[in-house]
């Protein structure tokens, strides 16, 4: 059932579709006010689970006792020649409940079944301090698809990442070269 994001409640199970041919599952863990000064500034913590299906599914198709927040490996390589840095994060994020768009809620479960740890409503890097995203978009659950593809579609995923990285590093080198030329031209202009 399509539900406006502003109506999400703790325990709502969201069927995600972050990429064509992949469906995932996210759970609303709580709901809170972002600021006492702004009474309509509601937000919630949403956990992206590791569930990935290759076809449309219903909650009855899922063993909900197996649903937990995904532990996701973030990969980062700042330059073409630098090593790959890996950081594991728990896929729980704060989302502002703004906008008129809708999400696909397929049922409700006890959110404590999913995650019983701390959930802070303040900002910071500490236990229970999860990142804030401004809005829920179609890419909710994308981390689960990436983790699934790294495991079950490794060759194709690695090729996709390599092509994307090559494009990024080529564009970045062009940008840096243009900046170097601009600085050089400014220096020459000052010297004359």
Q: Where are the domains of the chain?
A: 2-152, 153-192
Q: What is the pLDDT of residue 58?
A: 96
- The structure's pTM equals 0.86
Cα(143)–Cα(18) distance, integer angstroms: 9
Task: Take residue 33 and report the two structure tokens written for it.
Answer: 């006010």
Looking at residues 161-189, what average pLDDT do you find? 90
- Is 169's pLDDT higher than 80? yes
- Is 39's pLDDT higher than 80? no
Q: Where are the beta strands (DSSP E) in the chain?
A: 2-4, 12-19, 22-28, 32-35, 38-53, 71-76, 85-90, 92-96, 102-108, 132-133
Mean pLDDT score of the chain = 91
Q: Judging by DSSP bridges, how do beta strands 2-4 and 85-90 pair with one another?
A: unpaired
Cα(92)–Cα(150) distance, integer angstroms: 20
Q: How confident is the model at residue 104 (pLDDT cuts 50, 70, 90)?
A: very high
pLDDT digit string, tens, across residues 68-94? 999 999 999 888 899 999 999 999 999
Exposure string over 157-166, b if 16+ CB within 10 A, otherwise e: beeeeeeeee
Q: Which residue has the tokens 């992949």?
A: 22
- Is 125's pLDDT higher than 80? no
pLDDT digit string, tens, across residues 42-73? 899 999 999 999 999 999 999 999 999 999 99
Q: How confident is the model at residue 30 (pLDDT cuts 50, 70, 90)?
A: very high
């Amino acid at each position: 059932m399509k539900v406006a994001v502003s109506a999400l409640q703790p325990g709502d199970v969201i069927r995600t579709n972050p990429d064509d041919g992949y469906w995932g599952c996210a759970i609303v863990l709580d709901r809170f006010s972002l600021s006492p000064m702004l009474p309509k500034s509601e937000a919630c913590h949403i956990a992206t689970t590791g569930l990935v299906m290759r076809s449309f599914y219903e909650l009855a198709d899922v063993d909900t006792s197996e649903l937990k927040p995904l532990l996701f490996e973030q990969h980062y390589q700042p330059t073409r020649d630098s090593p790959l840095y890996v950081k594991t994060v728990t896929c729980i994020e704060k989302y502002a409940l703004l906008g008129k768009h809708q999400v696909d809620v397929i049922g409700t479960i006890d959110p404590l079944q999913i995650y019983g740890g701390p959930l802070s409503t303040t900002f910071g890097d500490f236990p229970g301090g999860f990142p804030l995203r401004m809005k829920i978009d179609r890419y909710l659950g994308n981390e689960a698809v990436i983790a699934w593809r790294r495991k079950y579609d490794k060759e194709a995923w690695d090729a996709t990442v390599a092509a994307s990285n090559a494009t990024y590093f080529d564009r970045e080198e062009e940008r840096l070269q243009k900046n170097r030329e601009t600085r050089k031209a400014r220096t020459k202009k000052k010297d004359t």
